[in-house]
Amino acid sequence: MPLTPNFTASQFSGTPSVITLTDTSTGSDVTIAKRRIYLLQANGTMLVPAGTTTTFIEWPLANTSISLDVLSQDSALSITVQWLTAGNTVVTSKTISFAFTAYNETFYYGLTESQVANSNLSASTNWYQTKLVLRVEIDSANQSITFASDIYSAQAALNRATYISTNQALFF
């Protein structure tokens, strides 16, 4: 059965800088010897781990998953994985867009914890409205990806959310 390429990407709140890709392809192709990953950012540049001198990341075929420490804030990425021969000929590839939101989701959860500790916070119109705006921006990023694989609109929403979380003294 020929290879049907596929992969997933995940991120965890405890390590928001790390994304983990997992190859979920089915079938096989004996000519495939390795994989490459391209992480395209909304600004048109490729994201790679520190010290990487190429625009791509090598993903050994022996490893089903790979963890990449590449994020410093929430990011929308178009991720392309290529399956290649030993001579670097691309056999097949797949591109999927993702919104990685763990930084702002963690901040949002902290706001929820603050509400539990101090129920009077909800009485502050500005505090509560800003919390709602943060939620809307996170959801807008996710919807941009789910609905249209639009990393540009998703990144704009994530940037607005990040502005709130990194300038919390202005809002909360």
Domain borders along the chain are 7-100, 102-171
Contact 97, 78 (CB under 8 A): yes
CA distance 21 to 72: 17
Element (H, E) at 148: helix 125-148
- Mean pLDDT to the nearest integer, 12-31: 96
CA distance 130 to 149: 27
The reported pLDDT for the residue numbered 147 is 97
* DSSP helix/strand/coil, 53: coil
Task: Inform me whether the pLDDT recorded for 1 exceeds 80.
Answer: no
The reported pLDDT for the residue numbered 78 is 98
pLDDT confidence tier of residue 20, bands split at 50, 70 and 90: very high
Contact 130, 83 (CB under 8 A): no
Q: Interior CA angle at 24 toward 97 and 64, to 5°? A: 105
The reported pLDDT for the residue numbered 118 is 87
Which residues partner with 36 through β-bridges? 58, 82
- 81 DSSP assignment: E
Element (H, E) at 90: strand 90-100
**Unique residue bearing structure tokens 């797949």:** 94
Average pLDDT, the chain: 95
> pLDDT tens digits, residue range 98-142?
999 999 999 999 999 998 898 887 777 789 899 999 999 999 999
The reported pLDDT for the residue numbered 120 is 82
> pLDDT tens digits, residue range 26-63?
999 999 999 999 999 999 999 999 999 999 999 999 99
* DSSP helix/strand/coil, 34: strand
CATH no. for 7-100: 2.60.40.10
